[in-house]
Amino acid sequence: MKKIMDWMTNKFAPVMNKLARNPWIASVQEAILTAMPVILIGSFATVFNILRDFIPSMPDLSMVSQFSFGLLSLFLAYLVPEKIMEKKKHKKTAKQAGLAGIALFLMVCSPVFDEAGNIVIQAWQLGNGGMIAALVSGVFVGAVMNQFAKHSFFKEDSAMPDFITVWFDTLIPITLIIVVGWILVFQMQVNMFDMITSLFSPLMSIGQSFWGFVLLNFIGYAFLYTFGISTWVIYPITSAICMQGLAANQAAVAAGLAPVMIHTSEATNLFLLGGGGCTLALGIMLLIAKSKRLRVMGKASIVPSLCNINEPLVFGAPIAFNPILMVPMWIIGLVGPMLTYWVLQFGLVPIPAQTFGFWYLPFPFVAYGVTQSIAGVIFSLAMFALSWVIYYPFFKVYDKQCVEEEAKKEKIGG
């Protein structure tokens, strides 16, 4: 275990943290996080539609979701190249890159013009269903704009106003981007949207498989986390898989079919009770610890834990780099996704088919919101009980160790 800890600390963790700071990966992460409010607005609509089942007179807010969460890909097409330019220290042309990103993405959607001159684009392409195409379009635009931003028609001490220099410096790259899209989509009749989707379909298929679901969630929310590596490292991958899965489920429900895609952000909320590693049970245990230090940590972390925020617990208890508490987090990090996948696959709990971004609510409310069923609540309660059983023996060992250490310090101090 010591050799593993040393290797992870000195070799693996620095590489992963460096990867997380890579401007291209960080740009995608920040773009998705920047768009998070529109996901939450879509979640409000989901909550209202749940209430409409009990109060039919309430208004239908589905169009609110359509013009917030339903435009997610369009927003990302702007945000990704903008963030890339900012990370690459080209802030002056960041907004222009974002606008070019929107233009190219709309071309990639292969719009059709009817006889009246109206542009026709499938609405689902602008939402989470077009997320992969939006990310690819955004990265391409960012790459082109970044290369041209290294050169300018004007010197730094030029007397020309900044907005004039930006006009001329972005004219060629934006023209190039739009012409490339025009040639591929309108002249060569290439369906870029389908091509990009097909290119990434193997990744989507793996992510939706049993082991893809289990391992991605274990690695992101348990294993890497215990070594102090942010779960955001693999967020661009998992979010793309989850969003595409949710889009497929929404489309199935709209067509009168049953949802089948299990790997969604909503499904992962069924086992992230207290945060990554299902740590709520451990947070409650700290309140009854014999160790004074652990009780203080329990009081400090219990409220965030109830809201599924466990950074204070993971890095303060600590779980990270603690061989005693890392092991149960790994166990529940594997068992939780496994059980979740099985109960969803076998129909014991409904597969989520609506966006629900209120992950920071106490877990029974989250479980009902994502599944819209009592079965989801019962399963989350069972997961909480299981996590308690898994964490408890390791907690007792660690609590005893902390008590002995505190006694030694008091004896030395006395």
pLDDT digits (tens, 9 = 90+) for 291-333: 998 999 989 889 989 988 888 888 776 788 788 888 899 999 9
pLDDT of residue 232: 65
Task: Report pLDDT digits (tens) over 276-293.
Answer: 899 999 999 999 999 998
Tally of helices (H runs) and strands (E runs) in the chain: 20, 2
Same domain flag for 297 and 406: yes
| pLDDT interval class at 13 (50, 70, 90) | low
Residue 41 in any domain: the answer is: yes
For the chain, give the longest Cα–Cα distance.
Answer: 91
Same domain flag for 273 and 162: no
Q: Say if residue 21's pLDDT is above 90.
A: no
- Pick the residue with more confidence: 221 or 390? 390
Same domain flag for 80 and 188: yes
In sequence order, which residues have a C-beta less than 8 Å from that of residue 340 and are 6 or more positions away? 213, 267, 268, 270, 271, 379, 383
Task: Report pLDDT digits (tens) over 120-143.
Answer: 888 888 988 888 999 999 999 999
As a whole number, mean pLDDT of residues 33-61 equals 79
Out of 104-113, 304-313, 329-338, pick the least confident.
304-313
Residue 118 in any domain: the answer is: yes
Same domain flag for 287 and 404: yes
pLDDT of residue 290: 93
Spatial contact of 294 and 399, defined as CB atoms under 8 Å apart: yes
As a whole number, mean pLDDT of residues 167-175 equals 88
* pLDDT > 70 fraction of the chain, expressed in percent and rounded: 91
The pLDDT mean for the chain works out to 87
Same domain flag for 201 and 264: no
Owning domain of residue 330: 260-413
Same domain flag for 267 and 387: yes
Q: Say if residue 395's pLDDT is above 60.
A: yes
Specify the pTM: 0.79
End position of a domain, from candidates 189, 206, 223: 206
Q: Say if residue 5's pLDDT is above 80.
A: no
Residue 333 in any domain: the answer is: yes
Task: Report pLDDT digits (tens) over 89-100.
Answer: 999 899 999 999
Same domain flag for 281 and 394: yes
Count up the domains in the chain and report the number: 2
As a whole number, mean pLDDT of residues 160-177 equals 81
Distances (CA, A) of 122 to 20, 57, 87, 126, 193: 34, 30, 32, 7, 11
Q: What secondary structure letter does DSSP report for 308?
A: T
Residue 393 in any domain: the answer is: yes
**What are the two backbone dihedrals, phi and then psi, of residue 261, each rounded to the nearest 5 degrees?**
-80, 115
Out of 116-120, 174-178, 386-390, pick the least confident.
116-120
Q: How many residues does the chain have?
A: 414
Same domain flag for 191 and 308: no
End position of a domain, from candidates 162, 189, 206: 206
Residue 13 in any domain: the answer is: no
Q: Say if residue 210's pLDDT is above 70.
A: yes
Residue 301 in any domain: the answer is: yes
| pLDDT interval class at 163 (50, 70, 90) | low
